[in-house]
């Protein structure tokens, strides 16, 4: 990670303690953004992420909150504003993936995904719409599975298709605010969310389906986040950006 600390912007990253969220936080911190890493469970992992950013001269803090709880999230936004003076970028990577064919799906799993992936995205997006400063950016997360029609992914893909709908409409609702709203839709990416529970043979087969011959990495996705969060991405608004090496 570089230490080109040239920005005075502030970013809030949900799911920021691991996977794509952590790498995105490191990427934004490397350009000088102060970053608040929001997490729901593992305090040690969150502290390690903050330590890694601090060691190269970045500014970072952690906040524990449930993204689907509007009271906790409002308090999280308050904390970031009090500590850093405002919020310019919100990166909403937090989400869960529970897989099953439609006929066998436990509806409790459907409800869990709806709560985190849809309600959580809506809560974060609503607060971002109210709190982001002019020139800000909201970046939500979908998945390329919404276009791949992969068996077993129906409920997860449905929850992420809702994220795309909310994002695209919100971009238009914020007309005149100078705030961009976009969605990043990764393909299969080598993170714990994707790898957990999959046999190596399946992972290799999925990687082989990509024209680039590999899975994506968290770094690949973080590059797209940095683009949308930075000055180069100001004319990209109301879009779903598929970052998947050409798999869909």
> What is the pLDDT, as a whole number, of residue 227?
97
Tell which residue, 70, 67, 173, 181, has the closest CA to residue 121.
Answer: 67
Q: What is the mean pLDDT of residues 32-37?
A: 96
> What would the pLDDT profile of 1-11 be if each residue is shown by its tens digit?
233 334 689 99
The CATH architecture assigned to 10-243 reads: 3-Layer(aba) Sandwich (3.40)
Looking at the chain, the number of H-run helices and the number of E-run strands are 10, 7
For the entire predicted model, the pTM comes to 0.93
Strands (E), the chain: 10-14, 34-39, 60-64, 89-92, 137-141, 180-186, 240-243
Q: Which segment of 12-21, 28-37, 199-208 scores lowest on mean pLDDT?
A: 199-208
Please state the domain extents for the chain: 10-243
Q: Single out the catalytic residue among 84, 153, 156, 194.
A: 156
Q: Is residue 24 pLDDT above 70, yes or no?
A: yes
pLDDT, the chain, mean: 93
Active site residue 153: no
DSSP state of 133: P
> What would the pLDDT profile of 136-191 be if each residue is shown by its tens digit?
999 999 999 999 888 999 999 999 999 999 999 999 999 999 999 999 999 888 88
């Amino acid at each position: 990670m570089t230490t080109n600390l040239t920005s005075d912007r502030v970013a809030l990253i949900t799911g920021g303690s691991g996977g794509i969220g952590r790498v995105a936080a490191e990427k934004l911190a490397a350009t000088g953004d102060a970053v608040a890493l929001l997490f729901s469970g593992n305090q040690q992992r969150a502290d390690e992420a903050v330590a890694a950013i601090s060691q190269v001269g970045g500014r970072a803090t952690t906040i524990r909150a449930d993204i689907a709880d509007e009271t906790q999230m409002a308090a999280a936004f308050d904390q970031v504003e009090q500590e850093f003076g405002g919020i310019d970028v919100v990166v909403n990577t937090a989400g869960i993936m529970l897989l099953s064919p439609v006929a066998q799906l436990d509806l409790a799993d459907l409800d869990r995904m709806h709560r985190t992936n849809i309600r959580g995205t809506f809560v974060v997006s609503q607060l971002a719409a109210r709190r982001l400063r002019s020139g800000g950016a909201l970046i939500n997360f979908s998945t390329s599975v919404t276009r791949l029609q992969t068996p077993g992914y129906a409920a997860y893909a449905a929850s992420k298709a809702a994220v795309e709908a909310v994002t695209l409409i919100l971009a238009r609702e914020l007309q005149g605010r100078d705030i961009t709203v976009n969605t990043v839709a990764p393909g299969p990416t080598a993170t714990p969310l994707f790898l957990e529970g999959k046999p190596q043979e399946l992972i290799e087969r999925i990687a082989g389906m990509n024209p680039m011959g590999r899975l994506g990495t968290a770094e690949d996705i973080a590059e797209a986040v940095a683009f949308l969060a930075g000055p180069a991405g100001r004319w990209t608004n109301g879009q779903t950006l598929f970052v998947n090496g050409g798999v869909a």
